[in-house]
Chain A
Amino acid sequence: MELSLATRTVGEHTVLEVGGEVDVYTAPRLRERLLELIDGGARHVVVDLGRVDFLDSTGLGVLVGALKRLRSAGGSFALACDKEPLLKIFRITALDQVFPLHPTVDAAISADSAGAGA
């Protein structure tokens, strides 16, 4: 399935809903969209991986890039994901210790708002 990207705003948070396959071919489009959002002033970003069927190292690299960029800009970055195959990928790569990972978008926004006082 092709990559799909949709953005919505919840309070101070920008939610990017990602669907389909995030791989070496489609990851550049995800990177571009995240850069557009950050360059456009988004500072608290939640990426919803709920409809992602496939995620590889290239996609993970793009997510880490966004995390670093937002942190250095004083913002925050979190992921919403409750799919076990994807969670296993985060555990195996130790990226579960790098990303704030939450089962739902609501949980990600609540945790981020509580932590950052946003």
Chain B
Amino acid sequence: MATVKLSFSPAPVHVRTARLVGVAVARRAGVREDLLDEVRLAIGEACTRAVALHRQYGLADPVLVEMSDGGSYAVRVVDRAPIEAGIGLTALPPDELANESLTDEALTTGVGFALLAGFVEDLQVRPVDEGIGTEVRMVWPVGR
């Protein structure tokens, strides 16, 4: 099982790098070409969410992205924000999306989660095993 680990300071500019690396490793692992757009979007959303949480809580800790290809392509994106902030993700119904009272942050969070849930069949959001934070775990099949 080959593993690639990427750790980046929580700045928006690095999310693109994480997407590029995530897709490169997915391609190498044998994820089907037609799934790569979804892999790119999902890794981007998970990293964007982690960066937003670190900035919200003033955390300088790096965001960790771990990619492994043991039988399937698994990606973990780990943040260090308090758990109650990370788990409270919900998708928003359409009639609420354009609601005037909805803040931009709440809208982006809801839409981001809808994208993760919509594009990743095998998705888990759970507390990290040690310390503070949550991990978003996404798994895609490989074509070999």
Contacts and interface: CB of A to CB of B under 8 A. Distances in A.
Interface stretch (B76-84, B104-112, B132-140): B104-112
B104 A24 contact: no
Interface string A31-64: 0000000000000000000000010111011101
Interface residues of A, number: 24
A86 to B, nearest CB: 10
B126 interface: no
Contacts, number: 77
Nearest to B117: A92
Given A61-B108, A94-B94, 8 more contacts: A23-B44, A24-B52, A25-B15, A56-B41, A57-B112, A67-B98, A93-B97, A93-B118
Interface of A: 21, 23-25, 54, 56-58, 60-62, 64-65, 67-68, 72, 85, 89, 92-95, 97-98
Interface of B: 12-13, 15-16, 19, 37, 40-41, 44-45, 48, 51-52, 92-94, 97-98, 100, 104, 107-109, 111-112, 114-115, 118-119
